Amino acid sequence: MAFIKTACVALLLISTAWCTEYSPWFNPPFEFQGHISYLYEHANRVQSPKGNFSEKTRNSSLHLGAFVTPWPSWNVEAEIFLTHTSHVDFDCEAGWLTVRYAWLDDISGDPISLVTGATLSFPTTHFLHEFSFPYHGHANAELHATVGKEWKRGCDWLVRAYGLSGFGCGERGSPWVHALGVFEYHPLPCVLFGTFIEALYGLGNNDLTPHFNGYGSIGHQNIDLGVKMEYEIRYVGTLRLLAWHTIHARNFIMDAWGGSVTLFVPFNIICYL
User: Tens place of pLDDT for every residue, the chain, 273 residues?
Assistant: 443 333 333 333 333 334 689 999 998 888 889 999 999 999 999 999 999 999 999 999 999 999 999 999 999 999 999 999 998 989 999 999 999 999 999 999 999 999 999 999 999 999 999 999 999 999 999 999 999 999 998 889 999 999 999 999 999 899 999 999 999 999 999 999 999 999 999 999 999 999 898 999 999 999 999 999 999 999 899 999 999 999 999 999 999 999 999 999 997 655 445
Cβ-contact 88, 130 below 8 angstroms = yes
Position 153 scores a pLDDT of 86
Cβ-contact 68, 95 below 8 angstroms = no
Cβ-contact 81, 93 below 8 angstroms = yes
pTM of the model: 0.89
Cβ atoms within 10 Å of 9's Cβ, excluding its own: 20
Position 267 scores a pLDDT of 78
Query: What is the set of domains in the chain, with CATH numbers?
Result: 2-272 (2.40.128.130)
Please work out, in degrees rounded to the nearest 5, the angle formed at the alpha carbon of residue 63 by the alpha carbons of 239 and 141: 120
DSSP assigned state of 92: E
Cβ-contact 142, 116 below 8 angstroms = no
